[in-house]
Structure 1
Amino acid sequence: MDHFLYRDGVLHAEDVAIPEIAAAVGTPFYVYSTATLERHYRLFEEALSPLPHLVCFAVKSNGNVAVLKTLARLGAGMDVVSGGEYLRAKAAGVPGERIVFSGVGKTRAEMRQALEGGIRQFNVESEPELLALSEVASALGAVAPIAIRVNPDVDAKTHEKIATGKKENKFGIPIARAREVYAEAARLPGINIVGIDVHIGSQLTDLEPFELAYTKVAELTRALRADGHTITRLDLGGGLGIPYERSNSAPPLPVEYGALIKRTVGDLGCEVEIEPGRLISGNAGLLVASVIYLKHGEGRDFLILDAAMNDLVRPSMYGAHHDIVPVIEPAPGLEPQPCDIVGPVCETGDTFAKARPLPPLEPDDLVAFRSAGAYGAVMASEYNTRPLVPEVLVHGDQFAVIRARPSFDEIIKRDSIPEWL
């Protein structure tokens, strides 16, 4: 469910008409719904109750500080994968004890930053990282709480570029070697083992891979405890999918996911951490664009928008689908016509959809890309010297720009001319 609905034939974000925002901000822009963010976060809270738990929002899915603060006020933790994301979480008011640091390439500087600023745990992904963290923590006279990320070799049945739990993926330590690596961690100074971490991929639409992975984690928990390790937390990752195509069957609900967690690991007495991103922020956002031209080609029509692959790269990068709808609801009886929906970037890959049926549209008409709140603005670039797309947050009948569109002067002045030119 989201809070983007037609009222009197006009698409609204909560109680704000999309054309009102477009008139104030210009297109393209992202708009997020506070009510949807809050609702989706609470669904996970309810799904895990009464287990001791922490819902850590995956900052990589949407890193805007206003979005993070919206969730932090509800008690959310944060899952970060870089020093920059760590600083975003802190800027949103999230205390270190609610921040989990994941990622395969943590630098010593990032480790130091988190140890000095406060951290709930590091999810360690390799033995070289474990040794580096031990050295950094020891030099600071600190102790680093850790969970070791295990790779369970489970096929998440998702897109190959967002699968993370198979043995050929770069993430984690093979689960077959976990006891050996935990024994190594227990011998190292500056390291405190607190749990186990697993994350098998993103946009999962089937619970079976989760069940396979979590069953393996439960077995490992018992084995590690038998080895003498204190395992008090299980970080079960994120990855639950959203319905990008509304005509398709809906993915599992958070309540079903929560029941699976309780069934597989609920008897272990561990605090459960999860790291949802897409399911919280995905359907909480739209990308709104204007029509520039309708171009009649050889055997096909092209709808050319002012949004491009630099604003929303998922279709080019993953072949991802986003429902695209007119902001002004079409009159009854208008026959949709297939067209290729494209942007103005000089790449054939700057294509959002092919042969997508849409009602007749004219230049300056507005369209909205649904389910664009996750992995949209965070992956945007300034390719073709196109300014980063602005972001807007709606709260009831109010809206605010939470990241402004930079001017061309601001973009160009970032470049420096060397003395010899």
Structure 2
Amino acid sequence: MTGMFQRRDGRLFAEEVALTDIAEAVGTPVYVNSANGMRQQARILQEAFAGQDVRICYAVKANHHLAVLRLFAGMGLGMDTVSGGEIARSIRAGCPPDRIVFAGIAKDDDEMRLGLQHGIYQFNVESVEELHRLDQVARAVGRRAPVALRVNPNVAAGGHDKISTGRKGDKFGVPLEDALEILTAADGMEGVEPVGLHCHIGSQIVELAPFETAYQRVIEAWRAIRAGGVALSRIDFGGGFGVRYQEPPRFRIPDYAAMVKRLTAGLGATVVLEPGRFLVAEQAVLLTRAIYLKQTADHRFLVLDAGMNTLIRPAMYGAWHDIEPVEGGRGDEAPTEVVGPICESSDFFARGRMLPRLEGGDLVAILQAGAYGSVMASDYNSRPGPAEVMVDGSQFDVITRRRPVELQFEDEVIPRWLG
């Protein structure tokens, strides 16, 4: 077990609350979030970068719940957003607009206007085409957009091919060697103000070396652009810090902070960091109940009431999540296929996982579920999405109610000609 989720007298607890109590009160499946776990992770970053000119902006896409955003905003963190909806969520949760970064490759005009009208901290621009469009939109509303150009340092990193974003063939950013020409042109535009460079090379990075290689390349370009007359003042290094799924990362945050300090010494630049997974991944579990145990000649299937509609990462990425019985099990461990109720062969959480015998009605906790879990849930197969709770010490509250089936189709309309 990790962090704020520990076993006591044979039962799993979230902080001071037994998971059995949550299941009885709320039902399953339900995401259980640890407020103190999230606070602890934020403090690790804040303490590691104390004394450095660093802005930490939580990557909202990891878990966009208003309660999560309010918690981090209350600790002084900004928000890294990738849509107008995430900007709106961040402001609704209490984050000042001047702490909001707007990233993403597909900002439309309305989203650009939203960011401009609120006076957000920075637009991370991903292409020449986007730069020109932002310039037009900004001039039309009488604003000047602060821009960090996302560059691609051609460094492969990340825990899976689908979450590696810094290679030449990836859709993100512009070639590093084009940055000087692009930002020199941008410096002459009325609607944009070039303020920095941005990079993000991937997610679930567990070693320091890829970060250092990418950052060195970006800093070299930043210096050249400054020397060329563009008054850059910021470097946005994105996020990507790995967390423990099957194995722990091979570096500590203080080591990362020391590396950033060494590389940026003397630059006079504000550093922006955009962690998401690091802050929330290990601070939530998916609490689910077994429907029954299915035994065949060759396999033992533990069928849960949560499925790929509840937590899609194992089906999408083959992602590993630790799986624990909430109150122990029966007999010796044996290879178990942990699956859900969705009518898809890919609906699984683990294959051949060593688990004690569990029966219908037993509670199961799927760990490290706080990042890209509840935010990617759906009503596929018309199964209600999961409820969510937040635990803070000995108290907990429902932060997302389970939707009744009827609400799934409340906004659907049958054409009048079908009678």
Shift of 1:390: 1.1
Which amino acid in 1 is paired with 2:12?
Answer: L
Shift of 1:206: 0.9
Indicate the residue corresponding to 1:85 in structure 2. Answer: 86
Shift of 1:351: 1.1
Indicate the residue corresponding to 2:262 in structure 1. Answer: 263
Q: What SS is found at the alignment partner of 1:200?
A: coil
1:125 aligns with 2:149: no
- On the 8 A contact 2:286/2:366 being kept in 1, the answer is yes
The count of corresponding residues between Structure 1 and Structure 2 is: 417
- 2:411 & 2:306 partners in 1: Cα distance? 23
- On the 8 A contact 1:306/1:344 being kept in 2, the answer is yes
| Cα deviation 1:115-156 (Å, max 9, x = unaligned) | 112200000000110000000000001010010000000111
Q: CA RMSD in A?
A: 1.1
Correspondence for 2:335 among 320, 334, 338: 338
- 1:343 & 1:267 partners in 2: Cα distance? 54
Which amino acid in 2 is paired with 1:293?
Answer: Y
Shift of 1:157: 4.8
| Cα deviation 1:86-138 (Å, max 9, x = unaligned) | 11101110011000000001111100011112200000000110000000000
> Structure 1 length as normaliser, TM-score?
0.97
Indicate the residue corresponding to 1:168 in structure 2. Answer: 169
Correspondence for 1:360 among 357, 367, 379: 357
- On the 8 A contact 2:293/2:301 being kept in 1, the answer is yes
Which amino acid in 2 is paired with 1:2?
Answer: G
Bigger Cα displacement from structure 2, 270-279 vs 406-415: 406-415
Which amino acid in 1 is paired with 2:277?
Answer: R
- On the 8 A contact 1:388/1:406 being kept in 2, the answer is yes
Gaps of 5+ in 2: none
Which amino acid in 2 is paired with 1:93?
Answer: G
Shift of 1:249: 4.4
| Cα deviation 1:219-256 (Å, max 9, x = unaligned) | 111101101111111110000101101xx344422111
- 2:269 & 2:178 partners in 1: Cα distance? 22
1:374 aligns with 2:375: no
Indicate the residue corresponding to 2:275 in structure 1. Answer: 276
Which amino acid in 2 is paired with 1:281?
Answer: V
- Cα distance change of structure 1 residues 222 and 250 upon mapping to structure 2, 3 Å threshold: closer
Gaps of 5+ in 1: none
Q: What SS is found at the alignment partner of 2:265?
A: helix
1:313 aligns with 2:327: no
Q: What SS is found at the alignment partner of 2:258?
A: helix
Equivalent residues in 2 for 1:21-420 (5 A)? Answer: 21-245=22-246, 248-330=247-329, 334-420=331-417
| Cα deviation 1:150-192 (Å, max 9, x = unaligned) | 0000111531100000000000010011111111111211111
Report % sequence identity. 47
- 1:250 & 1:231 partners in 2: Cα distance? 33
- 1:266 & 1:111 partners in 2: Cα distance? 33
Which amino acid in 1 is paired with 2:392?
Answer: H
Q: What SS is found at the alignment partner of 1:267?
A: coil
- On the 8 A contact 1:243/1:251 being kept in 2, the answer is no
Shift of 1:352: 1.0
Q: What SS is found at the alignment partner of 1:308?
A: coil
Q: What SS is found at the alignment partner of 1:268?
A: coil
- 1:321 & 1:359 partners in 2: Cα distance? 18
Indicate the residue corresponding to 1:15 in structure 2. Answer: 16
> Structure 2 length as normaliser, TM-score?
0.98
- 2:411 & 2:15 partners in 1: Cα distance? 37
